[in-house]
Chains A and B, each alone.
Chain A
Amino acid sequence: DVVMTQSPLSLPVTLGQPASISCRSSQSLVYGDGNTYLTWFQQRPGQSPRRLIYKVSNRDSGVPDRFSGSGSGTDFTLKISRVEAEDVGVYYCMQGTQWPLTFGGGTKVEIK
Chain B
Amino acid sequence: QLQLEESGPGLVKPSETLSLTCAVSGGSISSTYYHWGWIRQPPGKGLEWIGTIYWSGSTYYNPSLKSRVTISGDTPKNQFSLRLNSVTAADTAVYYCATYYGSGSAFEYWGQGTLVTVSS
* B-binding residues in A (CB < 8 A): 1, 31, 33, 35, 37, 39, 41, 48-51, 54-55, 60, 92, 94, 96-97, 99-106
Contact = CB atoms under 8 A, between A and B. Distances in A.
Nearest to A96: B105
Interface residues of chain A: helix, strand, loop or mixed (majority): loop
Instruction: State which size class the interface on B falls in.
Output: 20 to 34
Interface in B1-54: 37, 39, 46-49, 52
Interface of B: 37, 39, 46-49, 52, 60-64, 96, 98, 103-108, 110-113
A89 to B, nearest CB: 13
Given A103-B48, A103-B49, 14 more contacts: A37-B103, A48-B111, A49-B47, A49-B110, A50-B110, A54-B106, A94-B107, A96-B104, A97-B104, A100-B61, A101-B37, A101-B52, A102-B49, A106-B46
A37 B105 contact: yes
Contacts of B110: 48-50
